[in-house]
Amino acid sequence: MLACKWMPSESMPFLVEDFGLKHGGLSHNAMVIIPKQPMILGRDRIKQLRGPSSLSRVDRWLLEQASRRRGRNRVILFRACNREGERVWQFDPGLSDAELEEAGYLLTCALLPFHRRLLHSGVVLMVHTDWGLRECYAMRHGVRRLGEELKSSTAHAESEVRQADSWLLGNMLLHVALSFNHVAQKLLPLHLSMLERRWSQLQPLLAQLPAHAVD
């Protein structure tokens, strides 16, 4: 994993915090990603996403944060709200339905290598909370469309990469128009036992991933 000492947290657009999940005798740590400032995805960003993409310095920094928590963190909560509870991550309200669907699909494609590396580092569930209905619709469309493409395509040279990508699209990513508090306090604690079970089941597949797909 690329060291990120040259990327101080003060220069990043997100805060990263830890949140404790408990239910019965089980306890778990969740990594929480919180945007610091308004982040509106519009037509300019859609145009950029149509071209080639690679892991950004922010992606690498977030991967480093997840790596530091390896072994004690199976879930990430990505908030669309800042610490004051204001929704700041959203798609441009002026996007048409077709543009919204394209944005969700392109963003899902661009983030796939990032999510695969999170999975390899031990994260088996990433829940996007505080989202608006439009954002949920767009991203769910993107996840579903890309998942269907992977199942019917042989574009991936390595079947293990395709299997891992298909698994995370079908199981790891959740986009919900529910508050962080509701998800973290009411829903996730009920599924803590699932997290370690998922990780154990994934080990044979993850062990076969080529280095270039997860470095």
Q: Within 10 Å of residue 94's Cβ, how many Cβ atoms? A: 9
187 found inside a domain: yes
Please state the pTM of the whole predicted model: 0.92
Q: Residue 13 is part of which domain span?
A: 9-208
215 found inside a domain: no
125 found inside a domain: yes
Phi, psi of 95 (to 5 degrees): -70, 140
pLDDT recorded at residue 5: 43
60 found inside a domain: yes
pLDDT in tens, 14-67: 999 999 998 888 888 999 999 999 999 999 999 999 999 899 999 999 999 999
162 found inside a domain: yes
pLDDT in tens, 90-147: 999 999 999 999 999 999 999 999 999 999 999 999 999 999 999 999 999 999 999 9
1 found inside a domain: no
Confidence of residue 158 (pLDDT cuts 50, 70, 90): confident
Phi, psi of 70 (to 5 degrees): -55, 135
214 found inside a domain: no
Q: Which residues contact residue 80 at a Cβ distance below 8 angstroms, ignoring those fewer than 6 apart?
A: 35, 87, 88, 89, 90, 128, 129, 130, 131, 132, 135
- Determine which of 37-51, 144-158, 167-181 has the lowest per-residue pLDDT on average: 144-158
Are the CB atoms for 156 and 150 separated by under 8 Å?
A: yes
User: Based on the structure, what is the number of domains in the chain?
Assistant: 1
3-class SS shares of the chain: helix, strand, coil, % to 5: 50, 20, 30
